[in-house]
Amino acid sequence: MSEKELRRYSRIVVDGVEQAPSRAMLRAVGFSEDDFKRPQVGIASTWSMVTPCNMHIGGLAEEAAMAAGEAGGKGVVFNTISVSDGISMGTPGMRYSLVSREIIADSIEAVAGAEGFDGLIAIGGCDKNMPGCVMALARLNRPSVFVYGGTIRPGAERRDIVSVFEAVGARSGGTITDAELLEVERTAIPGPGACGGMYTANTMASAIEALGMSLANSSAQEAVSDQKIDDCHRAGEAVMNLIRQDIKPLDIMTRDAFENAIAVVIALAGSTNAVLHLLAMAREANVPLSLDDFTKIGARVPVLADVKPSGEYLMSELIEIGGIQPLMKRMLDKGLLHGGCMTVTGKTLAENLADVADYPPGQKIIRGFDDPIKADSHLAVLYGNVAPDGAVAKITGKEGLRFEGSARVFHSEEEALQAVLDGLVVAGDVIVIRYEGPQGAPGMREMLSPTSAIMGKGLGSDVALITDGRFSGGSHGFVVGHVSPEAAAGGPIALIEDGDRIQIDAESKEINVAVADEELARRRAVWKRPPSPVKRGVLAKYRNEVSSASEGAVTIPPSWDE
């Protein structure tokens, strides 16, 4: 490619007499004369001191910018926002979490589009900024690499943030003291990095690697490590290679690549949030993807990873045995991945995996195909008169495959949590938390506080929970989220009353309430949507634009041509 072709976007901003003002501004931020002749690489950093997930990413961004410069480009670092799920969980602030995914995508698009970057590196380290980054890269469709900020190291006694949430339930149940709770609180989070189990951050990092948008083992590195620094250096080299080869995100983010991502998420027992985010990412990449695709792929892909929250091991322990690359090699050899997919290395997935060694003998984290944790997917997409448009359950089989109980209905997460802590929820109950969906919350809050309280109370096998909200990747137990249509949209979950019998069946993929159609029609006739808790600002904008959870809770408006 010619120099002008390499600078397809930046030359519009910096070439010619008329662009002297642009060059003058850029000289002030450190551009040399030679830099104007180099491809510009935008480094989208999600650094902030808001959360440990992102507190180290500023340094990673500088490393990536330096590496892009050494490879012949000019790295330009800019920031976007991040919201901490762990801090806002269980509070009204959690409404902003999923909304932040859209803000992040919009902000990266805005900066990159305005500045004329020829390529991009996006570095994310928390649940929503990771899919938000990839959504923006798909929109912009310029040569790009995603870098995961890395997982946190384990706290004392292998603790992590979920240990703290569950300790709250244990304290309420009287099984630990105030002093013991404080000890967990003080030792669970030792420093930078994303939450340590196969929660949403590590799930999405793995999915993005399987998708082909990050380099090998980017998902399986600790935040504070030489490997993560090297990942940033390799990303700088890789993006310049992609610019020279003119390989763009939409060349990588194909239908087959999304199927690879789904398959790896299932094998790793990943978070239900992956369903929401992969649907949204596919929408940005113009790839048809639906809830039913998770069911089809899940029928042939087993759960192989014994990882937290439902299993035993942390991401750091998976890193020690080789990360997800050996798992992907096994899956490729078994015919469960599409090997011909292009990746950010400029090579296909099969080429990247050709020389990957298997896991060491005797490891217990990744099971063999002859000894799976579950023979098919733990992500069960359920339909029925509670969820005509679908719901997503995370059921590993340890909780059982079927649950029937009496509804205990709550209009908010806070009400449900208090009832659990006060001992008002008992064995055999199905907790129904509604008006927490994309429109209703608004923002589709995660229900980690009540699910953790249930586990801490020792009710994990005896109580189910359904919601039109969603779950943290740290949630486990018999839980069903993303119920669609949501209550605020008049979905059937709005019509359930205390005492109604609810049946959840992960084998038949059904979720039903044992109420006659005529009675549901009577209830619908008198139902009124409660007033929204927000009147203005970004939450109101989101509420008015967001789609159903079954479509990824995206805010992409219809085209004028549609």
How does pLDDT run across 503-549, given as a tens digit for each residue?
999 999 999 999 999 999 999 999 999 999 999 999 999 999 999 99
Is 390 within 8 Å of 382 (Cβ atoms)?
yes
How does pLDDT run across 334-393, given as a tens digit for each residue?
999 999 999 999 999 999 999 999 999 999 999 999 999 999 999 999 999 999 999 999
Is 217 within 8 Å of 227 (Cβ atoms)?
yes
> Residue 490 corresponds to which tokens in the numbers above?
């008049």
Say which range, 136-150, 290-304, 394-408, 503-517, has the weakest mean pLDDT: 394-408
User: In this model, does residue 466 exceed pLDDT 90?
Assistant: yes
Mean pLDDT to the nearest integer, 383-411:
92
Confidence of residue 169 (pLDDT cuts 50, 70, 90): confident
Q: Cα(350)–Cα(335) distance, rounded to whole angstroms?
A: 11
User: In this model, does residue 394 exceed pLDDT 90?
Assistant: no
Q: Which residue has the higher pLDDT, 3 or 346?
A: 346
DSSP, collapsed to helix, strand or coil, labels residue 78 as strand
User: In this model, does residue 195 exceed pLDDT 70?
Assistant: yes
pLDDT of residue 457: 86
3-state secondary structure 350-396: HHHHCCCCCCCCCCCCECCCCCCCECCCCEEEEECCCCCCEEEEECC
* DSSP 3-state percent helix, strand, coil across the chain (nearest 5): 45, 15, 45
pLDDT of residue 560: 55
Confidence of residue 162 (pLDDT cuts 50, 70, 90): confident
DSSP, collapsed to helix, strand or coil, labels residue 120 as strand
For 528, which DSSP code?
-
Q: Cα(49)–Cα(58) distance, rounded to whole angstroms?
A: 10
Return all residues near 33 (Cβ < 8 A) that are at least 6 apart: none
pLDDT of residue 561: 58
pLDDT of residue 451: 86
% of the chain residues with pLDDT over 90: 85
Cα–Cα–Cα angle for 200, 206, 212, rounded to 5 degrees: 135
Say which range, 192-206, 269-283, 412-426, 445-459, has the weakest mean pLDDT: 445-459
> Residue 531 corresponds to which tokens in the numbers above?
């007033």
Confidence of residue 474 (pLDDT cuts 50, 70, 90): low
pLDDT of residue 453: 86
User: In this model, does residue 138 exceed pLDDT 90?
Assistant: yes
Nearest to 236 by CA among 151, 150, 147, 323: 147
How does pLDDT run across 15-70, given as a tens digit for each residue?
999 999 999 999 999 999 999 999 999 999 999 999 999 999 999 999 999 999 99
Where b means 16+ CB within 10 Å and e means fewer, 319-340 reads bebbbbbbbbbbbbeeebbbbe
pLDDT of residue 269: 95
Active site residues: 472
pLDDT of residue 371: 96
Q: Which of 342-356, 410-424, 457-471 has the highest mean pLDDT?
A: 342-356
The overall average pLDDT reported for the chain is: 94
Return all residues near 86 (Cβ < 8 A) that are at least 6 apart: 51, 53, 161, 195
Q: Which of 89-103, 244-258, 399-413 has the highest mean pLDDT?
A: 244-258
Q: Which residue has the higher pLDDT, 545 or 169?
A: 545
Q: How far is CA 450 from the centre of its chain?
A: 20
% of the chain residues with pLDDT over 70: 98
pLDDT of residue 123: 98
Is 513 within 8 Å of 496 (Cβ atoms)?
yes
Q: Cα(209)–Cα(218) distance, rounded to whole angstroms?
A: 7
For 307, which DSSP code?
B
pLDDT of residue 99: 97
Is 491 within 8 Å of 468 (Cβ atoms)?
yes
Mean pLDDT to the nearest integer, 466-473:
90
Please state, as a whole number, how many other Cβ atoms lie within 10 Å of the Cβ of residue 121: 32
DSSP, collapsed to helix, strand or coil, labels residue 196 as coil
pLDDT of residue 310: 83
pLDDT of residue 559: 60
Mean pLDDT to the nearest integer, 112-123:
97
pLDDT of residue 396: 78
Q: Which of 27-31, 159-163, 457-461 has the highest mean pLDDT?
A: 27-31
pLDDT of residue 224: 95
Mean pLDDT to the nearest integer, 215-226:
96
